[in-house]
């Protein structure tokens, strides 16, 4: 939804619909025809452009940035630059929605139930799909949802499934995912998903019912103090005690979820507030002054010049980008085209830079490629864009990028300097920063030559490629993923559980576009795959949605098979079934002398048979399924899976002795990297 601005940041008046380049939030995509067309800097930092609803961000008061900038006209007819003085108008943001743009089902003076006000507030935010599971305290909301004409509910069979589905929806589409649960046990089942969303910065809004206000605090039936429980695992949460607050709180919740560093927001609504009748005031302003003031401002040219000077002076630079670059893929590609610097992505950043590109060094970190970790180890300039120096990437902090000057650009000021002290830091949106840097490079006509460094890295690529031992008969799990990539040509949305299959899916499937890779990174919660895939399928992506799962992870949220059957969501489930908890088995093999401690997931009384029988489970949910054991059958089985319309389950039997390689043990440095071996040896 584009928003109108009377005058763009740079002073160019334009009558066309302008959406300013805002950062971070999940919604932002910059398309040339939609912004001023003449310059690229925006006035309003970190506010979602596509912020649903009727609010008009025309006015926001910010301090005047103290710089002047050149504005390159995009119109090819104008061949010369002109300098636009940055007499930036202070734009005032009225933090309240504009009236008149939304058609309500109710008359203006008609009193209606709190639950209807809630549902209308969701409609005003532009929500079209929710994942809700009814219960005593949230029944009113479900009744109101039936009265809504625009919101569709996907009924997942467990609240954990619904919150993961909301996450998959948010990660795949960039919009805010919404899930609704009841009080008590329904709300506590959301906890894992909220923690996962916080660690991976996924924008979701969770709405929970609560017992009536007079019963709060009395250990009532199905009462849990969910606001207290989720305080540290949500970005913010609300307990609505006054029906008048509902419009404002929902607007604030969506705004907080989507702006700045995205995160989960929980809204708890007691049942008597849902049933109360009232006339809502949709024009209430948000009360987020402290937060808005603290949103990072657009970067200054002086800061960007400093970074460019460092790039000019370096001989072995590397870009280390991650989940914070999800909206900056285009700018990042342009930057790499201009400079030729090799790119390595983190687990969360897969797809931000096309993996099939020559300059992409694939994933780095504990299970990253040797050449990616080599490049960071030997680099003299580390450009960290939208990353947080997580321990899975860095290993031992002292030896990580020990020879490099570190440039850290991140939106969250708390992440800068948290783990590794950067030499140059910039707290700003990566998209704006990269746009500025690209503009500066182009205007100064700089050229860079890192071909010697690229040659060195290409040598490492040929010396230490990703590899796995081939077998005549058995299907290697890595091969299954390679064949899937081949058949889909990389055009698929991949969701995974957690474990060995997740690491292989990250290594062997090449992601060329952002928002293709849905996986639980920070929290690493098993059972993420199937619900996330179904959430992504709800967004109608136009490409097949494949859930590459492990037998352990799949079993954790197996109830969602019922959901995908009923909703006929075309989710293809490919289970890499090794009858074990693969990743733990690998660690047992390497560090605990192969002592199996509760990692066998099959039936110990009959180890020959495949247990549990996922085919029978799929049959019980009316989902076509197949099992493939031989290498020769693999490709045709995967093709059949993708061709069959609707949901499909493919059980791929793989050996459990495979290890994910390369591997840097936790707390290790690049020299500790392990590149060989599997479970058939004793360590």
Partner 1 sequence: MNVTSTPESDEETSRSGSWLVDGGLPSPSYELPSKGDVYPVEPNEDEVWRFPVLDPDWGQVEDDEPSGFRSHTLSMLVNDAPGVLNRVTGVFARRGYNIQSLAVGPAEKPGISRITTVVPGTDESIKKLLTQILKVIDVLKVQDLTHIPFAERELVLIKIAASSKERRDILDVAAIFRAKTVDLSDHSITLEMTGDLEKAAALQRLLQQYGIVEVARTGRVALVRESGVNTKYLGTQELVNKFI
Which residues sit at the interface with partner 1, rule CB under 8 A? Answer: 227-228, 231-232, 235-236, 239, 256, 287-291, 294, 396, 412-414, 416-418, 587, 590-593, 665-669, 672
Taking the least distance from each CB to partner 1, the nearer of 257 and 618 is: 257
Asked if 555 contacts 633 with a C-beta cutoff of 8 angstroms, the reply is: no
33-48 burial code (b ≥16 CB/10 A, e <16): ebbbbbbbbbbbbbbb
Would you list the DSSP string of 480-526?
HHHHHHHHHTT-SEEEE-SSHHHHHHHHHS---STT-EE---SS--T
Taking the least distance from each CB to partner 1, the nearer of 34 and 399 is: 399
Q: How many Cα atoms within 13 Å fall on the side-chain side of residue 99?
A: 5
Instruction: Quote the tokens at residue 278.
Output: 């009232």
Q: CA–CA separation, 133 vs 54, rounded Å? A: 28
Smallest gap from Cβ 288 to partner 1, in A, equals: 7
Of 120, 123, 140, 159, the active-site residue reads: 159
Of 271, 378, 510, 572, the active-site residue reads: 271
Would you list the DSSP string of 233-244?
GSSEEEE--SGG
Smallest gap from Cβ 179 to partner 1, in A, equals: 21
Asked if 83 contacts 12 with a C-beta cutoff of 8 angstroms, the reply is: no
Q: CA–CA separation, 489 vs 315, rounded Å? A: 35
Q: CA–CA separation, 330 vs 313, rounded Å? A: 25
Q: Are strands 69-71 and 82-84 parallel, antiparallel or unpaired?
A: antiparallel
Q: CA–CA separation, 104 vs 355, rounded Å? A: 46
Active site residue 287: no
Taking the least distance from each CB to partner 1, the nearer of 226 and 530 is: 226
Instruction: Quote the tokens at residue 555.
Output: 């079993």
CA neighbor of 249 nearest in space, from 238, 241, 260: 238
Smallest gap from Cβ 235 to partner 1, in A, equals: 8
| Residue found by looking up tokens 């450009």 in the block | 383
**CA 545 → CA 201, 349, 493, 533, 569, distances in Å?**
22, 19, 5, 6, 9
Beta bridge partners of 69: 84
CA neighbor of 461 nearest in space, from 393, 367, 359, 366: 359
Smallest gap from Cβ 229 to partner 1, in A, equals: 11
Contacts of 151 (CB under 8 A, 6+ apart): 119, 122, 123, 127, 128, 129, 130, 145
Of 363, 526, 583, 663, the active-site residue reads: 583
Smallest gap from Cβ 590 to partner 1, in A, equals: 8
Taking the least distance from each CB to partner 1, the nearer of 203 and 535 is: 203
Of 78, 221, 459, 622, the active-site residue reads: 221
Active site residue 159: yes
Active site residue 66: no
Smallest gap from Cβ 296 to partner 1, in A, equals: 12
Q: Is 371 left (phi over 0), alpha (psi -120 to 50) or beta?
A: alpha
Taking the least distance from each CB to partner 1, the nearer of 396 and 635 is: 396
Asked if 84 contacts 10 with a C-beta cutoff of 8 angstroms, the reply is: yes
Taking the least distance from each CB to partner 1, the nearer of 64 and 294 is: 294
Smallest gap from Cβ 533 to partner 1, in A, equals: 31
Taking the least distance from each CB to partner 1, the nearer of 260 and 647 is: 260
Smallest gap from Cβ 414 to partner 1, in A, equals: 4
Instruction: Quote the tokens at residue 449.
Output: 């030559």
Contacts of 424 (CB under 8 A, 6+ apart): 303, 306, 307, 310, 405, 406, 407, 408
Of 34, 222, 306, 559, the active-site residue reads: 222
Beta bridge partners of 381: 317, 405
Taking the least distance from each CB to partner 1, the nearer of 398 and 473 is: 398
Looking at residue 1, the DSSP 8-state letter turns out to be -
Asked if 481 contacts 509 with a C-beta cutoff of 8 angstroms, the reply is: yes
Peptide bond into 662 cis (omega under 30): yes
Number of H helices and E strands in the chain, helices first, is 23, 22
Crossing angle of helices 500-508 and 477-488, rounded to 10°: 40
Smallest gap from Cβ 426 to partner 1, in A, equals: 15
Taking the least distance from each CB to partner 1, the nearer of 414 and 609 is: 414
124-142 burial code (b ≥16 CB/10 A, e <16): bbbbebbbbbbbebbbbbb
Taking the least distance from each CB to partner 1, the nearer of 399 and 405 is: 399
Taking the least distance from each CB to partner 1, the nearer of 235 and 408 is: 235
Taking the least distance from each CB to partner 1, the nearer of 296 and 552 is: 296
CA triple 609-613-614, angle to 5 deg? 140
Catalytic residue annotation:
159, 221-222, 271, 583
């Amino acid at each position: 939804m584009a928003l109108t601005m009377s005058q763009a940041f740079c002073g160019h008046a334009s009558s066309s619909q302008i959406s300013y380049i805002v950062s971070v939030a999940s919604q932002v995509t910059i398309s040339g025809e939609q912004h001023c067309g003449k310059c690229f800097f925006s006035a309003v930092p970190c506010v979602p452009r596509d912020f649903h609803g009727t609010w008009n961000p025309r006015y926001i008061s910010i301090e005047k940035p103290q710089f002047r900038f050149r504005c390159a006209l995009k119109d090819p007819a104008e061949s010369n630059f002109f300098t636009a003085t940055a007499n930036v108008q202070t734009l005032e943001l009225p933090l309240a929605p504009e009236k008149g743009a939304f058609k309500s089902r109710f008359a203006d003076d008609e009193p209606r139930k709190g639950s209807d006000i809630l549902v209308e507030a969701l409609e005003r935010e532009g929500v079209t799909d929710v994942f809700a599971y009814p219960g005593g305290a949230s029944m009113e909301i479900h009744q109101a949802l039936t009265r809504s004409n625009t919101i569709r509910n996907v009924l997942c069979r467990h609240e954990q499934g619904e919150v993961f589905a909301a996450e998959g929806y948010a990660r795949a589409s960039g919009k805010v995912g919404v899930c609704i649960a009841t009080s008590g046990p329904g709300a506590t089942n959301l906890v894992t998903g909220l923690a996962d969303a916080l660690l991976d910065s996924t924008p979701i809004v969770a709405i929970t019912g609560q017992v009536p206000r007079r019963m709060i605090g009395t250990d009532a039936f199905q009462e849990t103090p969910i606001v207290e429980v989720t305080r540290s695992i949500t970005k913010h949460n609300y307990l609505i005690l006054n029906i008048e607050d509902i419009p404002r709180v929902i607007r604030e919740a969506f705004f907080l979820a989507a702006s700045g560093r995205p995160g989960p927001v929980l809204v708890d609504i007691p049942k008597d507030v849902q049933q109360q009748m009232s006339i809502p005031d949709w024009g209430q302003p948000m009360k987020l002054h402290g937060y808005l003031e603290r949103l990072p401002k657009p970067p200054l040219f002086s800061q960007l010049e400093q970074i460019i000077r460092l790039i000019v002076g370096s001989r072995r630079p590397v870009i280390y980008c991650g989940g914070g670059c999800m909206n900056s893929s285009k700018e990042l590609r342009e930057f790499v085209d201009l400079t030729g610097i090799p790119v390595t992505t983190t687990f969360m950043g897969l797809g931000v830079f096309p993996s099939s590109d020559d300059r992409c060094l694939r994933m780095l970190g504990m299970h990253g490629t040797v050449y990616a970790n080599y490049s960071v180890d030997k680099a003299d300039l580390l450009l960290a864009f939208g990353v947080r120096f997580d321990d899975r990437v860095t290993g031992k902090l002292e030896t990580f990028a020990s020879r490099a000057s570190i440039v850290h650009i991140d939106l969250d000021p708390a992440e800068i300097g948290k783990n590794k002290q950067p030499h140059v830091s910039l707290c700003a949106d990566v998209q704006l920063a990269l746009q500025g840097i690209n503009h500066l490079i182009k205007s100064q006509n700089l050229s860079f030559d890192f071909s010697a460094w690229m040659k060195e890295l290409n040598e490492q690529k040929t010396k230490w490629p990703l590899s796995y031992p081939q077998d005549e008969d058995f299907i290697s799990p890595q091969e299954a993923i390679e064949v899937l990539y081949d058949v889909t040509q990389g055009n698929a949305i991949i969701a995974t559980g957690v474990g060995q299959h997740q690491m292989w899916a990250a290594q062997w499937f090449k992601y060329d576009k952002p928002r293709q890779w849905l996986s639980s990174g920070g929290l690493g919660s098993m059972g993420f795959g199937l619900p996330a895939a179904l959430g992504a399928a709800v967004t109608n992506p136009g490409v097949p949605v494949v859930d590459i799962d492990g037998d352990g992870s799949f079993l954790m949220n197996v109830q969602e098979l019922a959901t995908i059957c009923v909703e006929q969501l075309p989710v293809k489930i490919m289970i890499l079934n090794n009858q074990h908890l693969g990743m733990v088995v690998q660690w047992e093999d390497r560090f605990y002398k192969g002592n199996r401690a509760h990692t066998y997931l099959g039936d110990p009384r009959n180890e020959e048979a495949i247990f549990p029988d996922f085919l029978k489970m799929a049959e019980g949910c009316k989902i076509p399924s197949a099992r493939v054991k031989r290498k020769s059958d693999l490709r045709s089985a995967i093709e059949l899976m993708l061709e069959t319309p609707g949901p499909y389950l493919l059980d791929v039997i793989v050996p459990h002795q495979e290890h994910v390689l390369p591997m840097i043990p936790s707390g290790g440095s690049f020299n500790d990297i392990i590149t060989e071996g599997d479970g058939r040896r004793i360590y």
